[in-house]
Amino acid sequence: MTTGRLETFSDGVLAIIITIMVLELKVPHSADFAALRPLVPVILSYVLSFIYLGIYWNNHHHMMHVVHRVSGGILWANLLLLFWLSLVPFVTGWMGENHFAPAPMALYGVVLLMAGISYTVLVQASLRVEGPNSLLATAIGLDRKGKISLGLYAIGIAAAFVRTWLAGAIYVAVALIWLIPDTRIERVLSGQAAGEKPSAP
């Protein structure tokens, strides 16, 4: 069983999640620019969540590229990830409409944390299928980036109750860590293509 349909379904869900968030941008009744001002926090939180979902899609895309067989474990880990990501529009809207208040900021971090843990579960389920000498295992390595992210989300959740701007800064920082393209898999692949021994990242 190949990854084809898993990717189609995940792409569909991710595409819908990413687009559904726009529905939270309610069209204002007044026609002047001032009517847009209350929407600024909603738009800012939309941008952040859009980037996060883009990162997930991007990484999912890369990972599935080196997964060759889909197990039941992968299917359900993937659904778990999609479940947590499906809550992103809700927490994004709650955070944006309440101008980054403590409780929504913390819950936003919780959803990011749970999605991050689900992604780790998906990676582990894929590694169990591919084996320790697979391209995937080489590409993932110690998964330092993934582990640091989970730690930062946890700190962000705690920070939300002390200084909300700090939680926000942490969530933005994690996004930036990932925006720096995850070249690990690409490097391993081109290393292979060139006949070189892939080095651990």
Residues that bind a second copy (CB under 8 A): 1, 5-9, 11-20, 22-25, 27-33, 35-36, 47, 50, 54, 57-58, 61, 65, 72, 75-76, 79, 82-83, 86-87, 89-90, 93-94, 97-98, 101-104, 107, 179, 181, 183, 186
Per the CB < 8 A criterion, the answer to whether 159 and 166 are in contact is yes
Distance CA 137, CA 123 (A): 9
Kindly state the smallest distance separating residue 142's Cβ from a second copy, in Å: 22
Q: How far is CA 60 from CA 55, 89, 126, in A?
A: 8, 19, 12
Q: Where are the alpha helices (DSSP H) in 66-163?
A: 72-86, 88-97, 102-130, 135-140, 144-160
Distance CA 132, CA 136 (A): 8
Kindly state the smallest distance separating residue 137's Cβ from a second copy, in Å: 19
Q: Which is nearer to a second copy, 151 or 176 (CB)?
A: 176
Kindly state the smallest distance separating residue 36's Cβ from a second copy, in Å: 8
Kindly state the smallest distance separating residue 48's Cβ from a second copy, in Å: 12
Query: Which residue type does 45 have?
Result: S
Q: Which is nearer to a second copy, 9 or 154 (CB)?
A: 9
Q: Which is nearer to a second copy, 7 or 130 (CB)?
A: 7
